[in-house]
Amino acid sequence: MNKRIKYTKGPIDEVRIVEDFLPRPSELVPKEDVEKVTIALSRRSVDFFRAEAKRHGTQYQRMIRALLDRYAQLNAPSNNKSLERGRER
């Protein structure tokens, strides 16, 4: 795709206005049902998440929340895999 576009002088074809089809910025980030809690974490864990968040350009709290959400999703009683895991123990 290194083909260059060659622009020429002259009239432009018919112009048509396209209706705005992009979502509003507020629609790009889904609102989550969150509950604020206070939790004590090891310095080592917090330092790890802060460093990783900085490396990936995000917030460390968001990374921790995503990790906990994923864990809960995989281990929820309604998840068949978690039931199978429970039987193996």
Domain of residue 63 covers: 41-88
Give the tokens for residue 87: 């039987």
pTM of the model: 0.55
Please state the rounded mean pLDDT for residues 49-74.
94
Cα(72)–Cα(75) distance, rounded to whole angstroms?
5
Per-residue pLDDT at 86 exceeds 70:
no
Of residues 29 and 69, more confidently modeled: 69
In tens, the pLDDT along 5-56 reads 888 888 888 888 888 888 887 777 777 788 999 999 999 999 999 999 999 9
Structural domain includes residue 71: yes
Structural domain includes residue 47: yes
Domain count of the chain?
Answer: 1
Band (pLDDT 50/70/90 cuts) for residue 1 is low
Secondary structure element (H or E) that encloses residue 60, with its range: helix 60-75
Give the tokens for residue 39: 């939790």
Q: Is 53 exposed, middle or buried (0-12, 13-18, 19+ CB in 10 A)?
A: middle
Structural domain includes residue 51: yes
Dihedrals φ, ψ of 49, to 5°? Answer: -65, -35
Structural domain includes residue 3: no
Structural domain includes residue 74: yes
Structural domain includes residue 80: yes
